[in-house]
Structure formats: structure tokens, C-alpha cells
């Protein structure tokens, strides 16, 4: 028996690119999702004295205190999915944008940790927003640095190239006859367009 060579066990560049793409998308989605979830939790509870009655509690979520953090987390979620649909230079630019969005979300979490809000402040939720933003920023940075070489979506999502058409095919299929229109539909073409 012969020993397997190192080249035989090393993953191909295409497999490595797919794995890196998967990791980057998962990092972006997980980080932005964690931040979005944590910003909707109760960060601050204000107690208002009401004389002899028990104090009134007013709970405020991170969205109430820092509404822009949830908006940026939603942008991070959408951008994580958009990484799959882009390629080349556009994917790298999207990765840079996602890295900046992740850092802005992390800054919101950091402000939540250090900011002084009225009432008792729960520190675990801003910490999770900070962590989620950093995870999303890592996914965006990975996309910005390595994303141009990753595989793009399959050819089935691309618009098919026009082939050489038979004589008379310059007219829409509905003008040539019912059978031609149905055959055009079977091929996935729009029979009303020439």
C-alpha cells in the first residue's frame, strides 16, 4: 500500500472557495442575526415612584435606545444573503460594506455597554450586540479580502444566450403559430418577445 500524497488530500481551490464562501455568509448572517435579536431585548428598566403605590416600571429595549443598530443589523442580514448573488469586484465591495456595517453595529453595542441610560441597565444584551457586530465584521472582511475568487451562482440562474434561430423566427412565436408558442414555453422562452 502506498501512502496518500499531500496533494491528493488537500482540497481543490474550488472546494476551498466554496467553504470560505459558506463561512463568510454564515458569519455575516449569524453576527447580524445575533445583534438583531439582542437589540430587541430589554436593556433598561426605569422605575417611577407613584406615592404609596408600587413604582411603575417602564422597560426600554435596545431598539428604543439605539434604533439605528437594528436597522444596520437588518442591512447586515440582507448583505449576507447578497454575497451569494454577487461576484468579483462587486462582491469585494459588498464585503467592505458589510465589514463597516458590522463595525457600526459593534460600536452600538459598545455604546450600550458604556452609555448611561436612565434606570437599571442590563449589560448582557449590549455585549451580545457588540459580539454579533464583530462576527459580522469578520465575515464582511473575509468577503472583501478573498471574495473575488469564490465561485458565483450556477449557470442555471444566468440568462441563456440566444442561439441561431430558424428562418421566420424574428417574429414572436405567437405570430408563427400556436405550436411554436407552446414549444417556446417548453424551452423557457417568452413567446411574445422576438
Given this model, what pLDDT does residue 54 score? 77
Given this model, what pLDDT does residue 152 score? 78
Please give the Cα distance from 78 to 101 (Å, whole number). 11
Which H helix or E strand runs over 185? Answer: helix 178-186
Given this model, what pLDDT does residue 158 score? 59
Cell digits for 6? 499531500
Please give the Cα distance from 39 to 165 (Å, whole number). 57
Given this model, what pLDDT does residue 2 score? 56
For the chain, residues with pLDDT lower than 70 are 1-10, 47, 117-121, 154-176, 191, 194
Given this model, what pLDDT does residue 8 score? 54
pTM as predicted: 0.69
Smallest CA-to-CA distance from 98 within 51, 3, 31 is with 31
**Residues β-bridged to residue 45:** 59, 120
CA distances from 37 to 76, 116, 119, 176 (A): 13, 22, 22, 57
Given this model, what pLDDT does residue 70 score? 93
Given this model, what pLDDT does residue 154 score? 64
Given this model, what pLDDT does residue 174 score? 52
Q: In what order do the strands lie in the sheet with 120-121?
A: 53-61, 42-50, 120-121
Given this model, what pLDDT does residue 134 score? 96
Cell digits for 44? 433598561
Amino acid at each position: 500500500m502506498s501512502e496518500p500524497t499531500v496533494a491528493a488530500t488537500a482540497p481543490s481551490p474550488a472546494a476551498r472557495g466554496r467553504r470560505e464562501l459558506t463561512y463568510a455568509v454564515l458569519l455575516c448572517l449569524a453576527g447580524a442575526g445575533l445583534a438583531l435579536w439582542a437589540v430587541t431585548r430589554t436593556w433598561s428598566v426605569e422605575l417611577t415612584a407613584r406615592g404609596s403605590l408600587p413604582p411603575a416600571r417602564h422597560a426600554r429595549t435596545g431598539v428604543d435606545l439605539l434604533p439605528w443598530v437594528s436597522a444596520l443589523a437588518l442591512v447586515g442580514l440582507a448583505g449576507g444573503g447578497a454575497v451569494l448573488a454577487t461576484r468579483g469586484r462587486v462582491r469585494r465591495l459588498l464585503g467592505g460594506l458589510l465589514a463597516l456595517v458590522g463595525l457600526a453595529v459593534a460600536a452600538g453595542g459598545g455604546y450600550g455597554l458604556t452609555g448611561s441610560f436612565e434606570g437599571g441597565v442590563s449589560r448582557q444584551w449590549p455585549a451580545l450586540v457588540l459580539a454579533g457586530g464583530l462576527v459580522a465584521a469578520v465575515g464582511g472582511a473575509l468577503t472583501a479580502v478573498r471574495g473575488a475568487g469564490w465561485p458565483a451562482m450556477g449557470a442555471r440562474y444566468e440568462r441563456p444566450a440566444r442561439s441561431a434561430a430558424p428562418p421566420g423566427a424574428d417574429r414572436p412565436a405567437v405570430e408563427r403559430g400556436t405550436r411554436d408558442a407552446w414549444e417556446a414555453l417548453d424551452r423557457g422562452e417568452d413567446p411574445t418577445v422576438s
